[in-house]
Structure formats: structure tokens, C-alpha cells
Amino acid sequence: MMNIEEIQSLIPQRYPFLMLDKVVELKEGELIRAYKNVSINEDYFRGHFPNTPIFPGALTAEAMAQAACILLKKSIPDLDATLFYVTNIKIRFFKVIVPGDQLHVMIKTIKMTRIGGLFETQALVNEEIVAKGEMTFACK
Amino acid sequence: MPDTRKDNLEQELREIIAKIVEIEPERITLEANFVEDLGMDSMMALEILAAMEKKYKIQVPEEKLNQLKTLKDAIKLTEDYLK
């Protein structure tokens, strides 16, 4: 329901740091679901790790944060924020993510305001939870 | 609000705040200013507000966030919206 052009119109991140490919569901003020396709072509696999490519947990968190930014911007349309800063994050990782996986990010709003928001976050691969937690970010 | 319930509310809120700000609960006196005395920022205040809403099943409007400056304020806001 939201392609890459629309995603880029809402968040400032760009290559090599755009961690979402498609948004498939968005309920303003409530939740968002988005996908990130993990490809062996991505540059960080050269070092993370040599001969054992594993998608970095920090980038799973980044995908979650980017989805939450889109949810915030769509929920508060007149919000003129252009930058987002993570201020708190607590995520538990359950399984590794590897090239070929499709990362399914699900974000639910805990509290959303014009200065930022708190979100419940989950990431799934093949409908199995690979990471979950909470994050807070500020926007300016 | 009866005194016992108010005491419990004070203690519960003190523990919620201590956990979020990661400081000893004893430092959170009724009058200690979240920013000046406890080193809190606006996003921590937002986390406290969200934790209050979850714990007491209340809804506090965003504009009340700038009234949340001390434990005493947190108690008053909770009481106001529990009514």
C-alpha cells in the first residue's frame, strides 16, 4: 500500500541506510507493517561477517525505527519534523536474519505526540518473531 | 483520595520514574525537579507519562506533558485522570 517513492517522501534516510522496501498496512495513530528484503548484495555483509553473512541487529532496530517514523508522520500530517533521534531502545533478538529473508516489521503505538513517540516493536521472518521490544524517539 | 491509596500512588509512581530514569528511588522526592535535579529530558518525561497511562489505564492529553516536572505533578495528574 506504500511503495519506495512514498516511503522516501516521508523519511530522510537514503542508500545505504534505507531499511524498508514496502509498507503493507498503516492504521494512523495505531500501527504499521512494513517489509525489508535482505539481499546478499548489501555492502555490510562483506564485514558482518566474512563468510557468514548475518543481518546486523542494529539494522533490524533501524528498520523498526524507520517504520515508526512513517507511522508518526502519517498520523500527525502537519508535523514538520525532518529528523528523528532514537532516545531509548530495548530489543531482544531471538534468531539471526540472513540474506534471502524477508523482514516483516510490525510497530504499535504506545504513546504518540508532536515531540516524538513510544512504540512496541516486532520483527518477524516467515511469521516467526525474530526480535521484539520497545523504542522511543524524538523528532525535530 | 484516601491517605493509604495516595501513599501507594506516591510509591508506585516513584518506582515507575526510578526505573525509567535509572536512579535510586530515594532521590525522587516529591519536589525534586525532573530536569534540574534528576537529569531527565523531555523524552523520559514522555516515557513516564506513557507508563502512568498503562499502569492506571488513563489517557493524559499531550499538552499536559509540560506540567509533569516533579513526582508531585505526576501524582496530581494521575489523580486528575483517575477521577
pLDDT in tens, A19-77: 999 999 999 999 999 999 999 999 999 999 999 999 999 999 999 999 999 999 999 98
CA angle A112/A115/A119 to nearest 5° reads 35
Full-model pTM: 0.91
State the CB neighbour count (10 A cutoff) for residue B3: 7
User: A88 and chain B: CB distance < 8 Å anywhere?
Assistant: yes
ipTM metric: 0.84
pLDDT in tens, B4-61: 777 799 999 999 999 999 999 999 999 999 999 999 999 999 999 999 999 999 999 9
Which domains are delineated in chain B?
Answer: 3-82 (1.10.1200.10)
User: B47 and chain A: CB distance < 8 Å anywhere?
Assistant: yes
Q: In what order do the strands lie in the sheet with A116-125?
A: A22-27, A31-37, A102-113, A116-125, A128-139, A84-93
Q: Are A67 and A137 in contact (CB under 8 A)?
A: no
From the candidates A72, A89, A90, A118, which should be mutated to test the interface with B, based on the most B CB atoms within 10 A? A118
